[in-house]
Structure 1
Amino acid sequence: MTSGHSVHRDLAFALKESAKRTGEQAPSVRGADWRLATVTAVNGDGTVTADGITVRRMEAYANPAVGDVIRIDQSSSGNFLAMGRLATTAGTAWTAYTPTWTASTTNPTLGNGTLIGRYQRVGRTITVHINLTVGASTSVGSGDYSFALPVQAAAVGCSFIGNAHMLGASRWGGQVVISSNATTCAPFLSVSTTNPRLDWMTAAVPEAFGSGDQLRMTATYEAGS
């Protein structure tokens, strides 16, 4: 009898442990769950592969990259979602670029001036900043000014408006305009101290653009891709 009871007890324990292991592995038993995983591939259909699992990204998980440590949620029916990457201490740095400076009549030459461009991309949203400082050997050209964007704007039939600020003999406030499908942006500033209407910035509008003067522009727009 003792031997029989022992066999039954061992069998019951084995069945209990087997059921426990099955439940631990079955989302329908254990309910929803989440885990951390490392991205090993970024796929073209809105999914990533992480730790051997192909997972659809949430819209907020923009710009996925191999090596991202992400949170994966699993529903009780076994479906997976990539919720997004874990934040880093410093966050995502802006990207530097050098915007080309052109004019409608004669293109400027930078000489010993400085032209700094920086941008941040989140999904298809681009925030860009451009800072131009005229140097003693800068040729400011002639005609309407334009500056290259880091990413072409979306062809959505509307223009995006940001802020422009020129610092010369006076301070001038205005706007930077990014047209639909544009690859450049253009600053618009007051025509003169007596005419507050905005006009395309040139070497002479709103005032003579010379050594030490600055142009600062910041805008947010939708990228084409």
Structure 2
Amino acid sequence: MTSSIGDLADAIRLQAVTAGVAEPAVRGADWQTAIVTAVGAGTVDCGTITARRLESYQNPGVGDRIVITQSGNGNWLACGRTAGATEQEFASYNPAWTSDGSNPALGNGTLTGRYWRSGSNVTGTINLTVGSSTNLGSGNYFWQLPTTAGPNGLIAVGSAQVLIAGGNRWPGQAVISPSDTNRVGVYMPTAAANSAIRRLSAANGSPDGALTTNAQVRITFQYESA
């Protein structure tokens, strides 16, 4: 009889502890790390948890590893990103290739993009290789950015390079304009000495002329995200 009463008391105690773990009003405030799965207006979702962002947590992004904290009444706050090593990894994205004329078509060419974001700072690379069935389209070329650049009135200038298969390697500039914040364009030198640079286009791939099969365009960019 005594043993049965003791077992019952242990079961009740265990049930109370279990219930307390699941009830913030019992256990009090709590915090933990989480991964952002969606971004709302002033909030972030971490799986089934919706947390309101502190003002110091700016430019949230899906995939951020953050610290969230819960009050005794169950409300969640997103404090900001952690400094974990996983946040230093580059992520892949698809940098759509367009023009201000007729858009090119990649065909059997390759186009890859990689970027890394820390707060509002975005750094990345784009690599294009022209294939035998690539349609170069017409007009000046642009490549989509992984995020919208901040319209702060500043022009972001990065580096670019065009490699003509079996030919020369030409240096250029990657330019993000404050009036065109979703894409990056490339400027290349011309064949004439002491001449101004001009936009990379279907007709003007480099001082060597138009882009040809196996030609490569390499772009490096850095800018402040909106």
Q: TM-score normalized by structure 2?
A: 0.64
2:20 counterpart residue number: none
In structure 2, the residue matched to 1:10 is: none
Q: Which moved more, 1:36-45 or 1:121-130?
A: 36-45
Q: Deviations over 1:17-69 (max 9, x none)?
A: xxxxxxxxxxxxxxxxxx984359999669999xxxx995766x974879947
Larger Rg: 1
Contact 1:154 1:181 in 2 (8 A): no
Q: Deviations over 1:71-128 (max 9, x none)?
A: 99xxxxxxxxx5852523x553222111111222222111000011111111111112
* Number of residue pairs matched by the alignment: 178
**1:177 aligned residue:** 175
Amino acid at match of 1:170: N
Contact kept? 2:34, 2:68, Cα under 8 Å = no
Q: 2:102 aligns with which of 106, 114, 123?
A: 106
Two-structure CA RMSD over aligned residues (Å): 3.6
Report the counterpart of residue 197 of structure 2 in structure 1.
Answer: 198
Q: Deviations over 1:131-186 (max 9, x none)?
A: 00000111112211111111111111121100010001211101010011521110
CA distance in structure 1 between the aligned counterparts of 2:147 and 2:106, rounded to whole angstroms = 22
Give the aligned partner of residue 84 of structure 2. 87
Q: Is the 8 A contact 2:35 2:66 kept in 1?
A: no
How far 1:197 moved relative to its partner?
Answer: 2.6
Aligned to 1:121: 117
Q: Cα distance 1:109–1:68, how it changes in 2: closer, same or farther (>3 A)?
A: closer
Instruction: Tell me the amino acid that sits aligned with residue 137 of structure 1.
Output: S
Q: Secondary structure at the match of 2:148?
A: coil
Q: Distance in 2 between matches of 1:100 and 1:64?
A: 20
> Paired residue for 2:33, among 38, 41, 45?
38
Identity in percent: 31
Evaluate the alpha carbon distance shift between residue 44 and residue 146 of structure 1 in structure 2; reply closer, same or farther with a 3 A threshold.
Answer: closer
Aligned match of 2:92: 96
2:161 alignment counterpart: 165
Secondary structure at the residue paired with 1:192?
coil
* Greater shift in the superposed pair: 118-127 or 189-198: 189-198
User: Given the alignment of the two structures, is residue 144 of structure 1 paired with residue 163 of structure 2, yes or no?
Assistant: no
- Letter of the 1:180 counterpart: P
> Unaligned regions of 5+ residues in structure 2, if any?
1-29, 47-51, 70-78
Q: Secondary structure at the match of 2:138?
A: coil
